[in-house]
Structure 1
Amino acid sequence: MSGEAPRRWRDCSPRPAWGKFRDGTGEFHPLEHHSADVAACFEALLRDPVLRDRFEQASGEEGFSRLTEARLCLIAFLHDFGKLNVGFQFDVLSTNSGAPNKVHHIKAALWACERMEVLEALGLLDMAAWGAEALEEYLRAALAHHGIPARSLVSGRGPDHIWRRFGDYDPITGAQLLARRGREWFPQAFETGPDLPRSPALAHLFAGVLTLADQLGSNGEFFPFCPTADPHYLERARQRARRAVAESGFRRDGWADDATPADFATTGDYRTVFDFDSPRPLQREVADAPIDCPLLILESETGSGKTEAALIRFAKLWRAGRVDGLYFALPTRAAALQLHRRVHTALQRLFPSRAHLETVLAVPGYLKVGETHGKRVGRFDVEWRGDPDEATRRARWSAESARKFLTATVGVGTVDQALLAGLKVKWAHFRGASLARSLLVVDEVHASDVYMTEILRTLLRDHLALGGHALLMSATLGSKARDALVRNATRRGVPPGIRQAKSEPYPALTLARRDQTFFVQSFEHTGYTKRVAMTAEPILGQAPRIAARALWEAEQGGKVLVVRNTVKQAQAVFAEVCAQGGQGLCLQVEDSPALHHSRFAVEDRRLLDGAVEKTLGKGRAAGGRVVIGTQTLEQSLDIDADLLISDLCPVDVLLQRIGRIHRHADTERPDGFARPRCLVLVPEEGLDSGLDGGLLRYGLGMSRNGGIYRDLRVLELTRRLIEKRPEWPIPESNRELVEEATHPERLAALEEELGSRWLDQANEAVGRAAAEQLAAKAHVLDRRGRFADIEFPPLDEAVRTRLGEDGPRIRLSEPATGPFGQPVKTFNLPAHLFRKPPGFPSRDEIESANLDLTEGELLLRVGSRAFRYDRSGIGPATEKRQA
């Protein structure tokens, strides 16, 4: 050949295949060594009792024997055999004239599956005696270690020349060496015994755990390059793998006996962890729940202590060896940020210091573990504040990439991170296998989003089937939604009628057993009852009157929370409050007014989150305030306002919003605010105009492009509840209120009363919901199907955790000063801003976007578009200034 290899490579004769290569130095790690690293990591991961139990469950009746383990280790060893192809091996050479063009190793491996000479050299023909069909399943799973299953689009034998000798390199000789090392290093795989289990669930789990093993085994800190071929290398790899798995937080069997959480049942020491002397009834019910109940659904009012109950459940399952981790899934980023601190503080008290347990904030872009922040350096590396020791730094591996969040021992983040494990998206198997070890806690579960509910239902089904554990929490779960979720783990029959649904206990704990039976446990409500004064105000479209009312209440000293359904309507009220001289009574950020919604730069949203918590959180200062926002303020936040002004919305959502007022009984209230009040903004003309799309600007009704709260039947029933019942006892009436406005029997009766136009709208809403459910079914990853049949959509086809159009993500090349005086760099813009010509921006336009000051106005420019950016968030630039 005309090209020369680097000297470090030339010194090896005959030339070995490389598995890892360091650009610029010529250093390499032989493929047989890298393959051993990954197989050893896979083997070490299986030493953890919890993960091994998941493999036992996935194997079904055939069980997960040592023989099956050895065979899977050998298949893991062969995961990178596609790198043997000549095009891949010579891609690293700078003077490789005459060498084949690079061929990606996954594609080459798929082609090689049709070439008998390669299969024979690798020993795969002999391994087919373990069950040819099952072997294909696990081999396909092994080839998915870059996060995407091999699709059927890659078929045939591919080019011949990539498997022919080139110069002094012979890929077939390399394949024979891999096969020989495999027999030497994993001899138990070739012992006589049953075939490989034909279990789709096991193949899917194997794919995810192998992906984790590949990422650990590719870490140069744990596995330094060893260029000299060593027939005894596997023992060295095993020692390094044990260290890599332990230091990255995936093994706890080496901990001392006292490095486990407190046993509340024995010690009763709640004061040390949670700052209260004895548990509330709901917390005691969760603490007493049997460990053989994999699914718990906890229904209780907001602020009743469900978070602490979840941590008590985690501690119990951990002590019993049923879980190795916790993922706390919240509906919004703001809720995750707030809860992260609470969970971290509790777990620092719950676990002894020698456990070195830190809580990862599983929100992209934040790089936070416990109280420590990180800073990205280059593309892959992260520097952590405080200059931690090597062991601590390595243990934070899970926080350094969004795809790794679910590998954390404890993670607090959005529900989207969990749902990504259940969709046909890159790294889904990796995420799902990581989540399998953990207790999955999902907070604020409700039925308003059909698409997300279907994804969650499928994810739960597969998670529980592996032996996983889950705890779902809600204040407002209707019987229809609860029934669908319970059916993941039970043989529940027909959903209850309206009478039975309303009579079911609340608060309640539903427990689903492994034998597919379930029972509902009621418990005493010990919190205080909020008798909320409900008023329907027909001023939904009158921002000046809404602003005037909010200001008047704040001037009386009240903390007023204004929650609107759309960003535009929130901005309208904010503008009116400022125009009426209320800037000083608004939410304050850097001593100036602001409001809270999703349409801000990512960096500014952190400031807004902190400002809301300071204004309405525990220890709030005295004095009136008006906090204006959207749905970002309604769920999972521990904020406590005196008065709620809310747009009309479905009753379950409205109850979530009501949960943000008078949250704590011991909060001092100003005169006139001792009783909780909720003003619900309704259209003056009634909801009939919504049938023709007249209420879409307020988030009510449905259009061709979607809508927020689309089922006018639920909205009308909610409006009637407000007018019929001027006082809502919360939480005693939660069950009845939700069923009265959402149960199918009530919806059917309303259609009959109101006539054909409402029936048409109902049919359209039900049809849209069915379409969303079908869309979810098309997007979910069904782990009951054969791995070899799985096809993911192309990477440029969006599969989302939340249905709706994704807008462009803008990252400025250099930070710019935002409206709050802080550097900003990242914007997530809604798609509807680009529906009109010139339409969606090109990649070049997105990458060249900038934020500049023009005539005293900050303008975000994306191609030919300009958007005003100020303290009210992103909005359209004025025509004059845009020109």
Structure 2
Amino acid sequence: MPEHDPADGKRGAPSVDLRFWAKERGLRGKVYPLACHSLDTAAAALVLWREYLSPGLRKTIASAMETDEEHAGRCIAFWAGLHDIGKLTREFQQQIAVDLSDYPGEELSGERRSHAAATGQWLPFVLSSVGYPPTGQAAWLAAQLLGGHHGRFHEHPTAHSRSPLVELGFSSARWEEQRRALLHAVFDATGCPGAPDMLDGPTAAVVCGLVILADWLVSQEDFILERLGSLPADGSVSALRTHFEESQRRVPALLDAAGLRPITVPPATFAKSFPHIDEPNGLQTSLAEHLPSLCTGPGLVLITAPMGEGKTEAAYHVADLLGAATGRPGRFLALPTTATADQMHSRFKEYARHRTKGTDPARPSTLALLHSMAWLNPDYAPADAPGVSTVLSDGADHRDPFAATEWLMGRKRGLLASWAVGTIDQALMAVLRAKHNALRLFGLAGKVVVVDEAHAVDPYMQLLLEQLLRWLGTLDTPVVLLSATLHHSIANSLVKAYLEGARGYRWRRSEPQPVPEVSYPGWLHADARTGKVTRSADVDPVPITTTPREPLAVRLVDIPVRNGSPDRSEALRRELTPLLEGGGCAAVICTTVAEAQEVYDLLAGWFAERGGNAPELHLLHSRFPNRQRTEITETVVDLFGKDGAKHGKRPTHGAVLVATQVVEQSLDLDLDLMVSDIAPVSLLLQRAGRCWRHEHLDVVERPAWAERPELVVLTPEQDAEADGPPRFPRSWQAVYPLSLLQRTHALLRRRDGEPVRIPEDVQSLVDDVYDDDSLAEDLDADLERMGDELAKRGLARNAVIPDVDEVEDSLHGLTQFDFDVDEHLLATRFGAGSVRVLCYYVDAAGQRWLDRDCTVELPEKGTGQGGRFTVADCRDLVARTVPVRMGLWFDRLSEAYRSPEAWRESFHLRDLVLIPQQVTEEGTVLPTEAGGREWLLDPRKGLVF
């Protein structure tokens, strides 16, 4: 094959044949030329480089390519324009009726390859025609990243002859002439950018994300239909260059419509950022005073402090400092659950509104909410239409500048928003060997990543988080970690992982030093450039002052276990009697949903005996229908939260909240008494953080019996005839490792009722429950826990992407397994698979209804055109569903319990499980047997098995 030099595009190289197509679906019988789509994508990549990428990410990429930013951007635009050149093959073009008689040869033989794979196979052998060294890493990685633009990376092509292109199936001179003509047309349009001196694997992965985004933006039907009206007159270099320039002018409007404009905040002091805080506390003051001098580039900040100590506001301010230091205005806040993400989204939006006052409202950007149920949240995705949410301000309606756009609510796109809040899973998916992980890495790389409740990860998730931190360290992405109860070894592992990424790949210095003792309360800063770790105690020997708190009284209360089930009845009567007589608010935290429902029944029966003087009783757990759970959560926060106390909504005659672990994190609750089943000590401390939470604000009037914050821990009574620890119910062991229950029990027994000083005792308690060997009353349980942790980390290693060093010259390992695996089995949490169940009601006549009163029919079809289910239809149905953990019951279900055929056309409805509830003529609802268990949706208790 003849080779071309960079001047070929200007010396009369063959014109590109515009009959070759790239897009035809949805184009009303027309096709869109491949050359035009190629140049659209190149133009989009160049506009994204200049107007979307953060300055810091541009600098990181250009530095890795060992060139300046302008040249790096044009190189990437050139590559992006070649992403679909694999469509210039007979096997692709003949998919529709196109006259290919002028282009003989290259008939398909053997298994068909994707056009993306064809791109990756062809490019490394021809980039030399525009000046790329034939054996240089840049050519091979550029080809591989473009071959992976559909989300999966292929191996580098191998050929064993002097004619590798012929061997790989590119055998026709006429086809080859056209491929090279398109290559040179794109090369000319993008300014003939010479080959970069360097390209490494991690940078190539991020660039792939940029190419995917550019491709998706210009593949929208509306954009293509509009461009069909002004196609080039011919395929000459000059005509195509004109098309490219027009595309550059049009692409910025696509960014606006998609909500991809950056959200930026000006520099501000802590006081200006949070005018509602009269005086920053010790933690906030320490960070505001000492961190700016340390934030000279990328790094990680770990903040550890008790519950309710203003860590969230501190994290916002630290993210602003790190973002300014690294040129990364983007933000991603990672939360442990969907409920906490929903709450943080509202809170973060208020902060964004305050900090961005005076910005251009004509160029709005979405502040995304990222989890599987985000589309149900009316604050994020209003019921009217995406992108037109309004907020009430100064007596007038104004467009919400952070409203969701339809484009960003599409699958896998949310992390592309400038600011986003979501579950930690959204970030961890970036390091699973799954399709489009490069797009997620790209979405995170230009942001400051904040991980709240960093302690709330099991060993499986911890390994994923460590790998994510390594990659973020390599990509110069700053990170903030927050925790109230983080074991020092986990803190050390997370900081070390970040520095390994920064050091191990770019600078290859010595092993990161172990993190010294974690300051509690306090913070540390790990510098990605130098590897130096600075603790708050290193810059200020005076301990950080915290909000004055009464010591937490902790009492162990033994309860009997009868037939394997805990009996809390006597203990709860004794502990809650003062509340019944003197008012006040208490919580009872149970280990499982079933036990919380039983306790609710127990207390409801007891309270009923008191008639009109009974306390309020509330129940909160995960097995309520989504809409009802949201309403209960809002009610509970309204009653027991800070605002409820300020506005006189706190129950004065007494109230009890029965709940599961869902109240441990991020709920603003203040209880006079906390009663909890025993759990690992770190979780007990989290629950205790909801006891007297706002004592320093003097907004809560305590009952006379509540003399101090108190945590009552229910634990199985000791068998008088048996040695060793008590026998914990199997239901508790299914939730928490038996070893940690035993160790926590031994630790609290040893303290013998000694109050817990907060913050002084928190870190030692969290550390001792793991580290103090004298607490190990059952060696077998300890060994089982450690074996389980090792097994989970091993499974995580199989799912996680390789270290950055392992993809230095090939991206194949990012999406490839050494064994067969179903990608859908990849998960960010171990054993957390669930399905959504919709309980519907069947009356005596056999008619099906959505509600217990049989007033809303179960729809056979949607309200949209042709019976299609609209977004509003889906929202109403999914809001009535309950998440249920997968198990053997699911495999036993017959087809009768699956979604109806008409529902399966909707992405949101296709996987629902439908469980009927029989309604008698008297109005009684009977449980249904399905999958080997009985199901009953109780209006007060939620789904009961």
Structure 2 CA distance for partners of 1:440 and 1:264, relative to 1, 3 Å: same
SS of alignment partner, residue 455 of structure 2: coil
- CA displacement 1:236-278 (0-9 Å, x = unmatched): 11122234335545455xx9xxx7335116xx435xx441233
Structure 1 residue 219 displacement after superposition: 3.1
Q: 1:239 aligns with which of 249, 264, 275?
A: 249
Trace 1:464-483 onto structure 2 (pairs within 5 A).
464-483=473-492
1:678 lines up with 2:683 in the alignment: no
Take 1:236 and 1:391, find their aligned partners in 2: how far apart are those partners? Answer: 31
**Equivalent residue for 2:519?**
505
1:325 lines up with 2:349 in the alignment: no
Structure 2, unmatched stretches of 5+, are: 1-14, 101-105, 233-238, 392-396, 500-509, 538-542, 561-565, 645-649, 841-847, 857-875, 901-909
TM-score by length of 1: 0.82
Structure 1 residue 358 displacement after superposition: 5.5
- CA displacement 1:28-70 (0-9 Å, x = unmatched): 3222222222222222222259645335435666524344443
**Equivalent residue for 1:857?**
925
**Equivalent residue for 2:873?**
none
**Equivalent residue for 2:633?**
609
**Equivalent residue for 1:28?**
31
**Equivalent residue for 1:600?**
624
Counterpart of 2:636 in structure 1: which amino acid? V
- CA displacement 1:272-296 (0-9 Å, x = unmatched): x441233222112222313236111
SS of alignment partner, residue 708 of structure 2: coil
SS of alignment partner, residue 668 of structure 1: coil
Take 2:578 and 2:152, find their aligned partners in 1: how far apart are those partners? Answer: 55
Structure 2 CA distance for partners of 1:432 and 1:608, relative to 1, 3 Å: farther
CA contact (8 A) 1:690 1:712 kept: no
Take 1:585 and 1:348, find their aligned partners in 2: how far apart are those partners? Answer: 48
Structure 2 CA distance for partners of 1:863 and 1:406, relative to 1, 3 Å: same
Trace 1:431-450 onto structure 2 (pairs within 5 A).
431-446=440-455, 449-450=458-459
1:42 lines up with 2:45 in the alignment: yes
Structure 2 CA distance for partners of 1:148 and 1:815, relative to 1, 3 Å: farther
Structure 2 CA distance for partners of 1:301 and 1:364, relative to 1, 3 Å: same
Structure 1 residue 368 displacement after superposition: 7.6
Take 2:609 and 2:389, find their aligned partners in 1: how far apart are those partners? Answer: 37
**Equivalent residue for 2:313?**
308
Take 2:914 and 2:244, find their aligned partners in 1: how far apart are those partners? Answer: 52
Counterpart of 1:521 in structure 2: which amino acid? S
Trace 1:630-641 onto structure 2 (pairs within 5 A).
630-641=660-671
CA contact (8 A) 2:91 2:107 kept: yes
Structure 2 CA distance for partners of 1:371 and 1:832, relative to 1, 3 Å: closer
Counterpart of 1:619 in structure 2: which amino acid? D
Structure 1 residue 819 displacement after superposition: 9.6
Take 1:159 and 1:858, find their aligned partners in 2: how far apart are those partners? Answer: 70
1:528 lines up with 2:532 in the alignment: no
Counterpart of 1:309 in structure 2: which amino acid? A
Take 1:849 and 1:582, find their aligned partners in 2: how far apart are those partners? Answer: 36
CA contact (8 A) 2:286 2:544 kept: no
1:537 lines up with 2:537 in the alignment: no
Tell which deviates more after alignment, 860-869 or 62-71.
860-869
Trace 1:396-415 onto structure 2 (pairs within 5 A).
396=405, 399-401=408-410, 403-415=412-424
Number of aligned residue pairs: give it.
Answer: 819
Structure 2 CA distance for partners of 1:604 and 1:713, relative to 1, 3 Å: closer
Counterpart of 1:803 in structure 2: which amino acid? F
Structure 1 residue 327 displacement after superposition: 1.3
Structure 2 CA distance for partners of 1:802 and 1:161, relative to 1, 3 Å: closer
SS of alignment partner, residue 817 of structure 1: coil
Counterpart of 2:651 in structure 1: which amino acid? A
Structure 2 CA distance for partners of 1:119 and 1:344, relative to 1, 3 Å: closer
1:739 lines up with 2:739 in the alignment: no
Counterpart of 2:78 in structure 1: which amino acid? L
Take 1:357 and 1:687, find their aligned partners in 2: how far apart are those partners? Answer: 65
Structure 1 residue 433 displacement after superposition: 1.0
Take 2:888 and 2:277, find their aligned partners in 1: how far apart are those partners? Answer: 49
CA contact (8 A) 2:460 2:829 kept: yes
Q: 1:365 aligns with which of 365, 373, 391?
A: 373
Structure 1 residue 844 displacement after superposition: 6.9
- CA displacement 1:622-668 (0-9 Å, x = unmatched): 23222122121101222211211111111111111111111112222
Counterpart of 1:804 in structure 2: which amino acid? G
Structure 1 residue 873 displacement after superposition: 2.7
Structure 2 CA distance for partners of 1:688 and 1:214, relative to 1, 3 Å: farther
Counterpart of 2:632 in structure 1: which amino acid? L
**Equivalent residue for 1:552?**
577
Structure 2 CA distance for partners of 1:783 and 1:483, relative to 1, 3 Å: closer
- CA displacement 1:814-838 (0-9 Å, x = unmatched): 9923799986444432123627856
**Equivalent residue for 1:780?**
800
Counterpart of 1:565 in structure 2: which amino acid? T
Structure 2 CA distance for partners of 1:147 and 1:106, relative to 1, 3 Å: farther
Take 2:722 and 2:225, find their aligned partners in 1: how far apart are those partners? Answer: 69
CA contact (8 A) 1:49 1:321 kept: no
CA contact (8 A) 1:507 1:524 kept: yes
Structure 1, unmatched stretches of 5+, are: 1-11, 701-706, 877-883
Trace 1:229-268 onto structure 2 (pairs within 5 A).
229=232, 230-231=239-240, 232-245=242-255, 248-252=258-262, 260-261=265-266, 263-264=268-269, 268=271
Take 1:402 and 1:689, find their aligned partners in 2: how far apart are those partners? Answer: 56
Counterpart of 1:277 in structure 2: which amino acid? D
Structure 1 residue 308 displacement after superposition: 0.9
CA contact (8 A) 1:23 1:92 kept: no
Q: Percent identity?
A: 24
Take 1:287 and 1:217, find their aligned partners in 2: how far apart are those partners? Answer: 43
Tell which deviates more after alignment, 509-518 or 816-825.
816-825
TM-score by length of 2: 0.77
**Equivalent residue for 1:561?**
587
**Equivalent residue for 2:834?**
807
Q: 1:71 aligns with which of 64, 75, 81?
A: 75
**Equivalent residue for 1:832?**
887
SS of alignment partner, residue 711 of structure 2: strand
CA contact (8 A) 1:87 1:162 kept: no
Take 2:418 and 2:376, find their aligned partners in 1: how far apart are those partners? Answer: 14
Trace 1:311-390 onto structure 2 (pairs within 5 A).
311-320=316-325, 322-355=327-360, 356=364, 359-367=367-375, 371=379, 373-375=381-383, 382=386, 384-385=388-389
Structure 1 residue 375 displacement after superposition: 4.2
SS of alignment partner, residue 452 of structure 1: helix
Structure 2 CA distance for partners of 1:93 and 1:695, relative to 1, 3 Å: farther
SS of alignment partner, residue 334 of structure 1: helix
Counterpart of 1:218 in structure 2: which amino acid? S
Structure 2 CA distance for partners of 1:359 and 1:819, relative to 1, 3 Å: farther
CA contact (8 A) 1:859 1:866 kept: yes
Structure 2 CA distance for partners of 1:269 and 1:583, relative to 1, 3 Å: farther
Counterpart of 1:760 in structure 2: which amino acid? D
Structure 1 residue 572 displacement after superposition: 2.0
CA contact (8 A) 1:553 1:560 kept: no
1:622 lines up with 2:655 in the alignment: no
SS of alignment partner, residue 657 of structure 1: helix
Q: 2:850 aligns with which of 796, 816, 819?
A: 816
Tell which deviates more after alignment, 169-178 or 601-610.
169-178
Take 1:103 and 1:324, find their aligned partners in 2: how far apart are those partners? Answer: 50
Structure 2 CA distance for partners of 1:584 and 1:518, relative to 1, 3 Å: farther
CA contact (8 A) 2:335 2:424 kept: yes
**Equivalent residue for 1:4?**
none
Structure 1 residue 72 displacement after superposition: 2.7
Take 1:212 and 1:314, find their aligned partners in 2: how far apart are those partners? Answer: 25
Counterpart of 2:428 in structure 1: which amino acid? L
Q: 2:114 aligns with which of 88, 104, 107?
A: 107
Take 1:163 and 1:386, find their aligned partners in 2: how far apart are those partners? Answer: 55
Counterpart of 1:635 in structure 2: which amino acid? Q
Q: 1:724 aligns with which of 748, 751, 767?
A: 751
CA contact (8 A) 2:368 2:419 kept: yes
Structure 2 CA distance for partners of 1:151 and 1:179, relative to 1, 3 Å: closer
CA contact (8 A) 1:108 1:158 kept: no
**Equivalent residue for 2:606?**
580
Take 1:729 and 1:22, find their aligned partners in 2: how far apart are those partners? Answer: 66
Structure 1 residue 857 displacement after superposition: 2.4
